[in-house]
Each structure stands twice: as structure tokens, then as C-alpha cells.
Amino acid sequence: MQNKEIKELLAKTAEKGYLLPSEALPLLKNFSEMNLKSIIDFFIEKLQESQSRGVVVKIELVEKILNLLKKENREERKEKGREEIETFLPEGFLQEETAKDWDGKIEVELDPSRYINRGEKITDFIRLFINRYIRLRKIIESKIEGREVEDIEDIQKYSSQERKQVTIVGMVFSKRKSLKGNYILELEDLTGSIKVIVNKNMAEAAHIIPDQVIGVKGRVWKKGVLNAEVIYFPGPPRTKPKTFEREIYMAFISDLHIGSKAFLQKEFQKFLEWLNLKRGNEKEKRIVSKIKYLIIAGDLVDGVGVYPGQENELMERDIGKQYDLFIKYMKKVPNYLDIIFVPGNHDATRLSEPQPSIIHHYIEPLKEERRIYSLGNPSRVVIDGYKVLIYHGKSLEDWNTVLPRRKRNKPEEAIHEMLISRHLSPLYGSNVPLAPESFDFHLIEDPPDIVQTGHLHINGEKRVNGITCIASGTWQRKTIYQAEMNINPTPGIVQLVNMGNQQIFRKRFL
Ligand SMILES: [Fe+2]
């Protein structure tokens, strides 16, 4: 780290009440692993966790934090494994087939549009939560094979003297911290509810969030209270990284926000020219000619009336005309590409999730011209055998509030949490308006090969147990709202996945 950076780290930790000792300076000078902001966030988080007493932090603790940082960084590098397209030299692929020669096969596995309850009288969420509980309990039970899961009602009969060990599966009704810093959960199943104490040192504690379903093995501490010894999450699922005998690419983008004054028209135009092989060097063109699928995770247009005062930020105030523009751009995508998209919270469909596909007549003219898949949000498609789960990602706002500081605004980390929970958006009553359906469409039952989200306007990639997580960015410049929320978007980037070997690339147009 440079002196200027060290100074900033010292100032920021001091602001929080921690003084780093002078012996730490040479250690910090030799440290050059990450960007400054991540280092500062990590330091503050670990110092707060350590509950170290006294103002001056012990050198041993500084050493420990630096080692943790190094380890974390190594793991992150290992997980990411993506490259900038410009530096990539393909090897090992013999056939020079292009996407034009490949017919491809897309099956829509699950699209909520077809099943959504239209006007039936369902006024509560009980059916949705029972459906979630039963399906996730099955997944957890299959993971803890041989261990008998008891109903919460039946545990109430055990007294504290027995210290009986039991296993339950419950939905987290609430999570709070005790004065000692441990967590107190209230878990519910179909028979009753129970308090569960989770020690603050259990690493799993950080991943628990309300309305998620978890398994707990523990001992009855007193009547109606369980001391957790092991926490079982339904995920992350394991799946063998998919392989495919062809070098064919999927391109992932999101959050175009066409109609907004901040839409990056010039850059999007460049992207379209690149898809048409009118830009880029020979190496890139070779890859681009093999892109067969374009997948867009919602917010195709900026919409109207999405937030107060939006009209002042719109270049086009008529939503129909915004979609006309979208269609105009999509018509420029080479015809041999299949386009798949879902709506986001700015698109023309109901806001509550699961969202049905975008109102048909806005998209109709595009359908007449080419093969497109306009699906609901979230949806699952199988593309040449690859199971792809596409979700706009409104819940990323919720995940941000439960993720540790250094993982905030890293949407790929939120996707990792979704896979641990086997659920895209468990939290009820927060940022995601949920519809009271009787089937939980956000549940991740069958492990996908690829999960794509958008919404946060920040790109990210990660691999979790053979699953490729793609957080797509945006084609909109930083908005005032994002500036206020301290969100730094990464606009103008397309991510490619080589279906031959799951390699991920980024290409920037800004
Ligand atoms: Fe969005």
C-alpha cells in the first residue's frame, strides 16, 4: 500500500474508534493485494467483530486481519476465473463453426406468466409459505440423510434435564441479537414455533435471514428453547460444470433503460455493431461470430412513473414509444441469434413478483420479425442442455442489507447467498413486492448451470460448486439516485460464457 492509502486506512479506522499501532506500518506497506476500499471495509468489519478492548489495536490482530485478507483475495481470484476478451487467445477448438451454422435448442422450463393467479381471491400468503416450507424441507432432509427430523410440536415435550438432541427444519420467523451478541431465532414449522439460540461464533449465523428455511440440530436447553449445534442450509447445490462439445457463446446483458436520458445510446450502438462483426479485432470477431444467444435480465426500458420525478429524467415519456425503440435496436441484432428476456421493475407488467412477461402488444412487432422468448421474472430455460435461471434481481437490495460490509454491492456474492438459501428472494415485506401465489417461483429447486441477475447495475462473476453466477450491469449512466445511495455502476459491459468450457469474458464499450 502507498503512504496515501495507509493514511486513509488509519483515518477511517480511527473514525470508528480504532487506532492501529505504529508496528503495523511496515506490514501495511508490504500489502498490495486489493483495492483500498475493500481493505478499509474488511478492516472495520473484522475490528468490530473482534470486539477488541482498548483504543489501540494489538499488532497480532492486525497481522491476523491481513492474513485473512490475503486468503480471501486468493479465493476470490480462484473463483472468478474470467478474462477480458481482448487478452484471450482461443486454443483447443478445432471446428470453426459459427453461430449461423448452429440451430440450437431452447426449452422454456419454467415461466411464471402461464401460472400466475389472475384475480382469484387469495388474500394471504399462507399457501405461498407452506409451499416454500414443504419444498425446502425436502431438500434439507435429503442432505441430512439418516437423521430424523422432528416436528417442533413434538419437541415441546422434552424437558431441560434430558438435554435431548433433536433435529428440526423451520422457517426463520425472526432473527435478533442478544446482549451477549448471540443470535436468537424464532423458527416455525407446520406444527408450532420454537426459539433457537445460535452462538455468535458459528460461521453459519451470518447467512441466516428471515423467511428462509433452515435445519437445526441442537439440544433442548429449556422448554421451548433449543441450543443450535449444527445449522443446515438447503444449498448451495452441487452440480458438475456443464460441458458441451461446441464453442458457442451466450451473451448476457441487463438494464438497458431505453427511454431514459441516461441511456448509453452510443455505446449500445457500438455493441450492436460489434455483434454484427463491424467492430473489434480478428480474434474478437472469431468469438463474436459464435455468439448464438442474447439474454437480457430485465429493465429493457426506463418505463414511466416508476419513481417520483422520473419524467424529468426521460428522453421518451411514452412507454409504447420506449418499447418501439427497444424493438428498433433488437432488429439490429443478427438474425441467427435467439433473444431471451424477462421484465424488471421498470418494465410494462405487474410489479409484484413473480412478474408475468412484458405486456404482449408492446413486444408483438418484434415477435413477427424474429425468434424471441419474452418470459416472466424469474424464468428458467434450458439452452442446448444448459439450465439457465434468469432473475431481474430486485431482491439484491434486500441481500445487500444482510451481507457483510465488504460483500455489499457485489451482486455475485448475493447470488452465492441465493444458492445457499436455494431461494432468490426469501425476505418478505421488504424491497421486493411479492404476490400471494400458491407456488413459490423464487425457490431454486433443481440446480441450474447458470444464474443471471441484473438490477444493481454492477457486473460480477463467480463460480459456486460448478454453477456460474453472472451479475449483469447496465447501459445507463450513473443516476442521481445511485450517487445518493453510493452505488458505483459498471455500465457498457457485455459478459460472454463459452458453452464449450464455461469460460467467462467481459467486453467493455465505455
Ligand atoms: Fe431494476
For residues 196 and 173, give the distance between their C-alpha atoms in angstroms, rounded to a whole number: 11
Whether 342 has a pLDDT exceeding 90, the answer reads yes
Nearest to 301 by CA among 278, 282, 320, 284: 320
Residues 6+ apart with CB under 8 A from 259: 301, 302, 303, 314, 315, 316, 317, 319, 321, 322, 325
Q: Which one has a higher pLDDT value, 408 or 124?
A: 408
How far apart are the CA of 346 and the centre of ligand 1, in A?
Answer: 6
Q: With contact defined as beta carbons under 8 Å apart, do 476 and 492 qualify?
A: no
Note whether 244 and 311 are same-domain residues. Answer: yes
Residue 136 lies in a domain: no
Note whether 271 and 329 are same-domain residues. Answer: yes
Nearest to 76 by CA among 449, 406, 454: 406
Residue 94 lies in a domain: no
User: What residues does 186 pair with on adjacent strands?
Assistant: 174, 195
Range(s) of the domain holding residue 47:
3-80
Last residue of a domain, one of 209, 232, 255: 232
The CATH number assigned to the domain holding 471 equals: 3.60.21.50
Residue 124 lies in a domain: no
How far apart are the CA of 301 and the centre of ligand 1, in A?
Answer: 10
Q: What is the pLDDT of residue 89?
A: 46
How far apart are the CA of 342 and the centre of ligand 1, in A?
Answer: 11
Residue 210 lies in a domain: yes
In the chain, the number of structural domains is: 3
> Where are the strands (E) in 433-483, listed by range?
450-453, 460-464, 467-471
How far apart are the CA of 392 and the centre of ligand 1, in A?
Answer: 7
Last residue of a domain, one of 192, 213, 232: 232
3-class SS at 429?
A: coil
156: Cα within 13 Å, side-chain hemisphere: 9
Note whether 279 and 185 are same-domain residues. Answer: no
Residue 125 lies in a domain: no
Note whether 191 and 268 are same-domain residues. Answer: no
3-class SS at 195?
A: strand
Note whether 319 and 412 are same-domain residues. Answer: yes
How far apart are the CA of 196 and the centre of ligand 1, in A?
Answer: 36
How far apart are the CA of 211 and the centre of ligand 1, in A?
Answer: 23
Note whether 160 and 211 are same-domain residues. Answer: yes
Q: What is the pLDDT of residue 92?
A: 46
Task: Give the rounded percent of residues in the chain with a pLDDT score beyond 70.
Answer: 93
Helix (H), strand (E) counts: the chain: 13, 18
Distances from the Cα of 467 to the Cα of 240, 253, 298, 446, angstroms? 8, 18, 21, 12
Among 369-373, 401-405, 459-463, name the one with the lowest average pLDDT. Answer: 401-405
Whether 47 has a pLDDT exceeding 60, the answer reads yes
Residue 272 lies in a domain: yes
How far apart are the CA of 435 and the centre of ligand 1, in A?
Answer: 18
Residue 89 lies in a domain: no
Q: With contact defined as beta carbons under 8 Å apart, do 399 and 431 qualify?
A: no
Note whether 322 and 201 are same-domain residues. Answer: no
Output the nine-digit C-alpha cell for 206: 451470518
Among 24-38, 134-148, 249-263, 414-428, name the one with the lowest average pLDDT. Answer: 24-38
How far apart are the CA of 482 and the centre of ligand 1, in A?
Answer: 12
The CATH number assigned to the domain holding 201 equals: 2.40.50.140
Note whether 467 and 338 are same-domain residues. Answer: yes
Q: With contact defined as beta carbons under 8 Å apart, do 471 and 418 qualify?
A: no
How far apart are the CA of 485 and the centre of ligand 1, in A?
Answer: 15
For residues 441 and 70, give the distance between their C-alpha atoms in angstroms, rounded to a whole number: 39
How far apart are the CA of 217 and the centre of ligand 1, in A?
Answer: 39
Residues 6+ apart with CB under 8 A from 91: none
* Tens digits of residue pLDDT in 432-449: 999 988 899 999 999 999
H or E element that contains 108: strand 106-110
Q: With contact defined as beta carbons under 8 Å apart, do 310 and 302 qualify?
A: yes
Note whether 426 and 481 are same-domain residues. Answer: yes
Q: What is the pLDDT of residue 359?
A: 96
Residue 458 lies in a domain: yes
How far apart are the CA of 455 and the centre of ligand 1, in A?
Answer: 4
3-class SS at 377?
A: strand
* Tens digits of residue pLDDT in 465-487: 999 999 999 999 998 777 887 78
Looking at 58-103, list the stretches that DSSP marks H as alpha helix, in order from N- to C-terminal side.
59-80
How far apart are the CA of 420 and the centre of ligand 1, in A?
Answer: 23
Output the nine-digit C-alpha cell for 497: 460464457
Q: Is 337 left (phi over 0), alpha (psi -120 to 50) or beta?
A: beta
Note whether 431 and 285 are same-domain residues. Answer: yes
Q: With contact defined as beta carbons under 8 Å apart, do 416 and 469 qualify?
A: yes
Q: What is the pLDDT of residue 78?
A: 64
Note whether 222 and 280 are same-domain residues. Answer: no
Pairing mode, strands 386-390 and 165-177? unpaired
Can you state the angle between helices 319-330 and 360-369, rounded to 10 degrees?
20
The CATH number assigned to the domain holding 46 equals: 1.10.8
Note whether 403 and 263 are same-domain residues. Answer: yes
Distances from the Cα of 188 to the Cα of 138, 199, 430, angstroms? 16, 19, 20
Whether 462 has a pLDDT exceeding 60, the answer reads yes
* Tens digits of residue pLDDT in 144-186: 977 899 999 999 888 878 888 999 999 999 999 999 999 999 9
Last residue of a domain, one of 186, 204, 232: 232
For residues 355 and 154, give the distance between their C-alpha atoms in angstroms, rounded to a whole number: 39
- Mean pLDDT for 255-268 is 97
How far apart are the CA of 396 and the centre of ligand 1, in A?
Answer: 10
